[in-house]
Structure 1
Amino acid sequence: MRAIYILLLVSLAGTYCFAGPQYRTQISSALRFIEHYQTTGEEGYDPGQWVARVTSYLPSNVGVGKFNHPYEEPTAFVAASVANVLAEIYFLAPEYQSIPPMIERTVAGFSNYYWDQLFNFYPPTTYRGVKVRQPRYMYLAPRFKGFANIPPDADTTSISYSTLQYLHKIHQGQHSYQPLPDSVMEAFSSARDLNRKPHIYNAGQGQKNTGAFLTWLWDDMDPKMPRNLFARPNNGTRVPFNRNDVDCVVNANVLKMLTLAKRTDGPGYKAACNHLNRMAIKKDFFYCGMYYPSRYVLPYTMAEIIHQGGSCLEPSRDNLIAFLLKKQKRNGGWKNKYMSRPDRIQSTAWALSALAQLGDPENPRHREAIRDGADFLSGMSTRDSHGFVYWPGEVYFAATFVARYPVVWRSSAYTTAVAAKALLLAERF
């Protein structure tokens, strides 16, 4: 009788506590990897950042980096992206007490990226005596330097403010902090896809006057903005290619920030939700993200918004689940389109995390898919020279719509964080 009872317990454990201890060991080691490689402010990095590398696959004589040479290019955008995933892990498993100090260090390194109360992707420098924004290390020929003197953008601003929101939540309001300044809300409200000529890439997709949020928090019709594509940086700040654009993943990141801040009644929120719901019906997950050459980052971000209480995206739940189940491979993993690199680790980490947040633990099809995905992702991990578990960084985002394939950023810290989160979410299946 006792033997039967033990067998019953083992069976139940296999059904409801799938591989928890096995994956917890990997998750703990992965968090130590991320903590170990977080910077403390040494030369070339701001405090609380992680290594991020941008690689150009254009011929070297074009002047946008050297061909296939990874340049370390730390940014607040990547640091905030990593910190946000860490915060989401912490809210799922508060026993990981190393996470709050990591987020605090990231926020301490934000100062170089502020543009008043908005955020810029690049840190400031000077060019011919004029303050501009530029990459720190990536080589740009003089004719291309002006492309990088960009204004604050909705993506960096929303992701960075989400980090601030998460830190405020961790400290349970103990620190004085204005969750979302009115000036930030005004900037987002004024940069919307309304009554304007669409960007050529958006026009090709039929995305016109969507009411969704634009990428650049800047007036692209400002007469003072340089119109010559190759104007030098000191001629002024400019939107790349002179035209603002609509990116679905950028909109998802803005919606996530607004959901966290409980500022969902402002202009643009409902329109952005409707736009993403339309894209989910069309299953336009690959081309809709101009700066994100993956078909899985949008479902991943939408799933997190739904998890955070963003009910306006709830109509997309079934469409997202159906898409993720259909695209899963027999080996349990997912892969991106070959034209933008399969990136099986990053694709699986995003897709598995999304499916685990959207799926039903009582649904056998969902359980099987998530267990297979977790097994595949677990098996793709490796160890560094210190013995820490990590997942090598694969493509996270790209430079512009014309460089979705040739100019891309990778971060092992980010990929490892998303993989750890996915395995943690898979535990309930």
Structure 2
Amino acid sequence: MRYALFLLLLIKISAFSQQPSPDSLRKDIERSLNYLTQHQTTQTIEGKQYAGEWEAFMQMKGFFFFLGVKNQYRDSNCFTMAGIHNILAEMYLADTTQKQILPMLAKVYPEVLSYATPTPIGLQFNFWKKLPPRRDLSWGKEPNPIPLVRRPTNFILGERFINNAANVANDADDTALGNLAIWYHQKIFGKDSNQTIKHSIFDRYLDQNRQNRHWYNYLYHGFKKSGAYMTWLAQESTFENWRFHKTVLHNLVFFLPFSVCYPHPYIPYIPWGTNDVDVVVNANVLTYLTKKGTLNQSKGHEAAHKLIAKHTKRGHWNRMGIYYPNRYHFHFAISRALAAGDTALKSSAQLLLNHLSQTQNPDGSYQSWKHVNKRDILQSTTYALLSMLYLKESGLEVSQETINRAVKYIDTQKKMETNQNYWKGGVFFSGGTVVRNILYFTSDAYTTALVAMAYQKYLKIHNKK
């Protein structure tokens, strides 16, 4: 009996320590694409789910004022759909024999465009769709007809205040991702009538000549008047002469109509009434502008590079992204922009590589801080692995053993169905600021797509040996 238990233990240890073979990883990619094909939504139920999308969830970690208690809600949003689209498009362009990807791209592309707002210089994108409001939003007489608003699909918001706050403005992050999807679509399927947006839209909203400043940037980021890209593509509230104590006072009375933080009915809202600067958003804008070939025409690109360099040197990883609580999302976003061709990020990338080399656990995993989804180990390891693979693609010297250990760990986490593999979704986005570690977004499909792309890149490196 003891011998049998000892033998079983040896088998388990051997299985854990064994590096997945190239054939095994190819099969995992195939089964991951099968999973994504089978789990792409086929039927639209207006206001609940939409054909072409994949499941994503808003997760409430615990109670929060106006938002309710711990729970999970399916949500349709641009970030998830454009994100998966762009991962799959990148995979297809790297290996055009993966024909299974094409129908998925064709189905999700119209869904990505449903989040767009046409402008004279191209399409801006929003995180959420325009939908009928669930309740009256004005204290007085409602407009006729009732305007559509931006809101979650299935998360039931109660008070007028939080419903109006959910009606967010268009943003640079989704606009970069949505237009990158258009760019990929044109490259894969040919000319498209939707022209990608010009760089000038991002240059209209730079962190300069402002009479306001976001409290999160003030407390955690420093680097005022950075000149970098701001998150929201709308006019923020301004003060005659901004001081931090004014922001504090307005935040304390956020529920009163005279506060700059107060959301008004049917008017697109910037959270807290104040624009912000997020380093991951800046990296996503840089990726899009680099892919499109207009990076050097943009006024904000040099300031964005300097901001990223300052943050990388300072290394406050847990507070890095306002809307991205996983500490390794920053590494992923910067390395992806570098691999797209933004070579100005190379010095920052070397510091990121140093951090990745120093923080890997003995089992090959990486972990975020304790407040993020129980350290969000699988998602952290996936971002870290992709970061290393992008950095290696960009010419940096990355330890193959470090990469191998991360691949081994991710392999142990896969879930298997009939001819399908998937990985449980971790945190890829959050509500930001005060709900940064309470309200977050997850998707098995998004994480599975990331892993499949990582495996494809890993095999490409393996084949070069």
- Give the TM-score taking structure 1 as reference length: 0.88
Residues 2-401 of structure 1: pairs in structure 2 closer than 5 A: 19-43=21-45, 44-59=48-63, 62-65=65-68, 67-116=69-118, 117-127=123-133, 128=136, 129-142=146-159, 143-171=161-189, 174-177=190-193, 179-182=195-198, 185-196=199-210, 197-204=212-219, 205-221=221-237, 228=259, 234-264=265-295, 265-341=297-373, 342-359=375-392, 366-384=399-417, 386-401=418-433
Q: Provide Cα deviations, 1:263-307, integer angstroms capped at 9, x if missing partner.
A: 112111121122112222222333120000011111111111111
Preserved CA contact (<8 Å) 1:53 1:411 = yes
Preserved CA contact (<8 Å) 1:150 1:240 = yes
Partner SS state of residue 139, structure 1 = coil
Identity over aligned residues, as a percent?
26
Q: State the partner residue of 1:8.
A: none
Q: State the partner residue of 1:3.
A: none
Q: 1:285 to 1:165 in 2, by over 3 A?
A: farther
Runs of 5+ consecutive residues of structure 2 not aligned to the other structure: 1-18, 137-145, 240-256
Preserved CA contact (<8 Å) 2:391 2:398 = no
Q: 1:229 to 1:408 in 2, by over 3 A?
A: farther
Q: 1:198 to 1:26 in 2, by over 3 A?
A: same
C-alpha deviation, 1:234, in angstroms: 2.3
Q: 1:387 to 1:238 in 2, by over 3 A?
A: same
2 CA distance for matches of 1:364 and 1:405? 34
The residue type equivalent to 1:64 in the other structure is: L
C-alpha deviation, 1:179, in angstroms: 4.6
2 CA distance for matches of 1:361 and 1:178? 31
C-alpha deviation, 1:52, in angstroms: 0.4
Q: State the partner residue of 1:409.
A: 441
The residue type equivalent to 2:103 in the other structure is: P
| Alignment root-mean-square deviation, CA | 2.3
Partner SS state of residue 424, structure 1 = helix
2 CA distance for matches of 1:160 and 1:79? 9
Q: Provide Cα deviations, 1:162-199, integer angstroms capped at 9, x if missing partner.
A: 1111122223xx323455233xx332111111122321
Partner SS state of residue 118, structure 1 = strand
Moved more, 406-415 or 125-134: 125-134
Q: State the partner residue of 2:14.
A: none
Partner SS state of residue 23, structure 2 = helix
Q: 1:102 to 1:412 in 2, by over 3 A?
A: same
C-alpha deviation, 1:125, in angstroms: 2.2
C-alpha deviation, 1:126, in angstroms: 3.2
Runs of 5+ consecutive residues of structure 1 not aligned to the other structure: 1-16
C-alpha deviation, 1:80, in angstroms: 0.6
Preserved CA contact (<8 Å) 1:130 1:234 = no
1 CA distance for matches of 2:397 and 2:167? 51
1 CA distance for matches of 2:329 and 2:444? 16
Preserved CA contact (<8 Å) 1:285 1:299 = no
2 CA distance for matches of 1:363 and 1:175? 35
Q: State the partner residue of 2:143.
A: none
Moved more, 299-308 or 344-353: 299-308
Preserved CA contact (<8 Å) 1:132 1:233 = no
C-alpha deviation, 1:110, in angstroms: 2.9
Q: 1:195 to 1:371 in 2, by over 3 A?
A: same
The residue type equivalent to 1:311 in the other structure is: T
Q: How many residues align?
A: 404
Preserved CA contact (<8 Å) 2:350 2:396 = no
2 CA distance for matches of 1:132 and 1:390? 34
Q: State the partner residue of 1:11.
A: none
1 CA distance for matches of 2:453 and 2:274? 36
The residue type equivalent to 1:336 in the other structure is: S
Moved segments of 4+, more than 4 Å: 226-233, 360-365
C-alpha deviation, 1:227, in angstroms: 5.2
Preserved CA contact (<8 Å) 2:151 2:167 = yes
Q: 1:136 to 1:360 in 2, by over 3 A?
A: closer
2 CA distance for matches of 1:276 and 1:232? 31
Partner SS state of residue 109, structure 1 = helix
1 CA distance for matches of 2:76 and 2:150? 14
